[in-house]
Amino acid sequence: MRYIIYIIATINVLYANNYLKSENIVLDIKKNLMWQDNEEVTQYTSNWSLAKEYCHSLTLNGYTDWKLPTIKELQKIVDITKKPPAINKEFKYIEPSSYWSNTQDITNRSYAWYVGFKTGATFKDSKDYDCYVRCIRTRFKK
C-alpha cells in the first residue's frame, strides 16, 4: 500500500508542474505536446533545413508525426532558474547550447530563430549555421 501512495503522490507532483517524463519523451500535459528527450538531442547537429527533415523523418516511441518546434514552443521549456542548462527539470538530455526552431526571421528569410539553453536566450542566425535539434509533436489530434 505504501508504494501505491508514493506513485500517486509522484504523479500528482509531476502533473502539477504540467510535465510527465516517460522513456525518450517529455509530455507537456497542459499544452498537449510531446517532446523528444533521448540521447540524439545531445548528439545530432545540423543546419536548419536538415533539422526540419530530421524531425519530419523521426520515428520515436511509435510516432512518426514529429516536427521542428516553433520559437514560442521552445521558449516554453526554458527555465532561467536552472542555469546551465536553462531548461525545465523534466528534460534529461540537453546540451547547454543552441537548438533550432522552425521559426524563420520575417525580415531576412535566410535566418531562423533558435534558443541557447546555456542561458535560455533567443537568437537568430543564418540557416546554414549548425544547431542541435529537439523535435515535438501534438499528443492528441483534434
Expressed in angstroms, the distance from the first to the final Cα of the chain is: 38
Segment 128-139, tens digit of pLDDT: 999 999 999 998
The pLDDT of residue 19: 81
Q: How many domains does the chain have?
A: 1
Rounded Cα–Cα distance for residues 114 and 70 (Å): 9
pLDDT of 54 above 90: yes
Domain range for 11 is: 2-138
Residue 63: is its pLDDT beyond 70?
A: yes
Residue at 61: amino acid letter = N
The CA distances from residue 108 to 31, 62, 98, 113, 123, in Å, are 30, 37, 19, 11, 13
Q: What is the percent of the chain where pLDDT is above 70?
A: 86
State the pLDDT at residue 20.
86
With 60 as the cut, is the pLDDT of residue 38 above it? yes
DSSP code for 67 = B
Given a cut of 50, whether residue 16 has pLDDT beyond it is: no
One-letter amino acid for residue 76 of the chain: K
Q: How high does pLDDT run on average in the chain?
A: 88
Mean pLDDT across the stretch 25-46? Answer: 95
* Strand ranges in 3-140 using DSSP code E only, listed in sequence order: 19-22, 25-28, 33-36, 45-46, 98-104, 111-116, 121-126, 131-132, 136-138
Distance (Å, whole) CA 107 – CA 130: 21
Residue range 65-118, pLDDT digits in tens? 999 999 999 999 999 998 789 999 999 999 999 999 999 999 999 999 999 999
pLDDT at 142: 53
| Cα→Cα distances 47→9, 90, 140, Å | 42, 27, 29
Q: What is the pLDDT of residue 21?
A: 87
CATH value at residue 93: 3.10.100.10
